[in-house]
């Protein structure tokens, strides 16, 4: 009888050990939570679960998993990246009076991830500071002055984010795990397109059961289709006179594909600059193809005439339902692509001084 009981205890212990190795677990407490009563858990942009703070502002989260998962713990407006590994319970403690000074125990990968946090906080501080300074500097300024300031601030923003990009790339090279992946996932595609694409190719067969990583890879694949150096997707649409025009008709020229609309104020503000650059460089192999997201032919044609847009204009008058929106992943306008004489993407979203300087360097 004693032997039977001993065997049963051993089997229960063995089963518990197996079960524990297939569960991710995080528990802890939140000091000075204020109005926060619920802790949420995200994987990428998908909310997995949420738990209430119990007595002593404590919480616990468990979920079945067979490999490490990169999640975010959301406490009010603060999000904390963590890597939960099956069989490695994580303890998490944060004080909402000092939300950046959180404590973790039990996860070597999360400890590694925390090493990157100062770089990310610095990036967010610089980003917020520049946006605030730009908003203040543009008060009571004309559209032309705002565009000039926008170029100056954007140049500074890209310069400072380039340093952050290198920090993330170096961190990922040193940590071939989910901590390195997280660093790369924080990069801005407008600044680090090539780095994101190269990293996605590198980890193509890694972390295959992680939803956050899968989202990153899918976005990188879409980004790659419209990356600098890739063939520009074909455009086939109609002029105001119902003539069919294709982007490939312009091979041998540098073409600014300008997505705009008559109702788009920023587009109309940028039009005088495009008109200026068109007349300066049209005899040097440069032209423009305007692609309108209008659905009213009268408004479209009146805007063409009012803004002196003398280059080729096309539209299927389907507005945001146009297939071109999908092919070029247009999320906002104005959006532009500069296409080289071979039909490959040379640059994207050049406006104001940026367009002028790029054309001057390229065509002169």
Give the residue-averaged pLDDT of 113-132: 88
pLDDT at residue number 133: 86
Q: Is the pLDDT reported for residue 8 higher than 50?
A: no
- For the entire predicted model, the pTM comes to 0.74
State how far the Cα of 349 lies from the Cα of 219, in Å rounded to an integer: 19
As given in the structure block, the two tokens for residue 219 are 């976005």
The continuous run of DSSP H or E covering 26 comes out as strand 23-31
* Cβ(62)–Cβ(19) below 8 Å: no
Q: Which domains does the chain have, with CATH numbers?
A: 20-106 (2.60.40.10), 113-225 (no CATH), 236-363 (3.40.30.10)
Q: Above 90 in pLDDT, residue 152? A: no
In terms of Cα–Cα distance, which of 136, 149, 140, 130 is closest to 353?
149
Q: How far apart are the first and last CA of the chain?
A: 95
pLDDT tens, residue by residue, 13-61: 444 444 567 899 999 999 999 999 999 999 878 899 999 999 999 999 9
Residues 318 and 298: their CA atoms lie apart, in Å, by 14
Nearest partner of 211 among 40, 32, 42, judged by Cα: 42
Average pLDDT of the chain? 89
Tokens of 31: 């000091």
Query: Which residue, 274, 319, 316, 314, is CA-closest to 294?
Result: 319
| Interval 277-321: pLDDT, tens | 999 999 999 999 999 999 999 999 999 999 999 999 999 999 989
Q: What ranges in the chain are assigned the alpha helix state H? A: 2-20, 108-137, 143-174, 178-185, 189-202, 211-225, 265-281, 297-306, 323-327, 352-363
Helices 189-202 and 178-185 cross at an angle (nearest 10°) of 150
The residue length of the chain stands at 364
Is residue 362 classed as helix, strand or coil in its secondary structure?
A: helix
Overall average pLDDT of the 183-197 stretch: 91
From residue 139, alpha-carbon distances to 133, 135, 149, 152, 272 in Å are: 10, 7, 11, 16, 22
* Encoded tokens for 103: 């404590």
Per-residue pLDDT, 190: 79
Query: Which tokens in the block code for residue 175?
Result: 């940590």
Please give the average per-residue pLDDT across 84-97, as a whole number: 94
**What share of the chain has pLDDT > 70, as a percent?**
93
């Amino acid at each position: 009888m004693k032997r039977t009981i001993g065997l049963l205890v051993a089997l229960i212990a063995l089963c518990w050990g197996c079960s524990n190795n297939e569960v991710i677990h995080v528990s802890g407490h939140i000091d000075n939570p204020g109005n926060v009563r619920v802790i949420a858990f995200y994987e990428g942009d998908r909310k997995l679960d949420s738990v209430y703070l119990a007595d002593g502002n404590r919480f616990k989260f468990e979920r079945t998993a067979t490999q490490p998962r990169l999640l975010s713990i959301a406490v009010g407006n603060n999000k904390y990246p963590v890597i939960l590994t099956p069989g490695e319970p994580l303890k998490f403690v944060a004080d909402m009076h000092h939300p950046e000074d959180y404590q973790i125990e039990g996860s070597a990968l999360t400890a590694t991830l925390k090493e990157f946090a100062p770089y990310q906080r610095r990036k967010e501080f610089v980003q917020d500071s520049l946006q605030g300074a730009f908003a203040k500097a543009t008060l009571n300024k004309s559209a032309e002055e705002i565009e000039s300031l926008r170029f100056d601030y954007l140049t500074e923003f890209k310069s400072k984010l380039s340093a952050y990009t290198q920090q993330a790339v170096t961190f990922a090279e040193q940590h071939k795990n989910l901590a390195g992946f997280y660093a790369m996932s924080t990069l801005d595609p407008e600044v680090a397109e090539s780095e994101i694409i190269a990293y996605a190719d590198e980890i193509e067969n890694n972390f295959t059961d992680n939803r956050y990583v899968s989202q990153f890879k899918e976005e990188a694949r879409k980004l790659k289709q419209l990356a600098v150096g890739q063939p520009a997707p074909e455009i086939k649409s109609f002029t105001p006179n119902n003539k069919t025009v294709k982007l490939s008709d312009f091979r041998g020229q540098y073409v600014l594909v300008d997505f705009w609309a008559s109702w788009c104020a920023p587009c109309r503000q940028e039009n005088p600059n495009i008109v200026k650059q068109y007349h300066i460089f049209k005899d040097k192999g440069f032209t423009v193809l305007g692609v309108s997201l209008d659905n009213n032919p009268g408004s479209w044609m009146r805007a063409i005439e009012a803004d002196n847009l003398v280059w080729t204009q096309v539209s299927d008058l389907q507005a945001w339902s146009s297939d071109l929106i999908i092919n070029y992943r247009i999320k906002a306008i104005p959006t532009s692509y500069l296409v080289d004489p071979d039909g490959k993407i040379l640059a994207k979203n050049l406006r104001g001084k940026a367009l002028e300087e790029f054309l001057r360097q390229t065509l002169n």
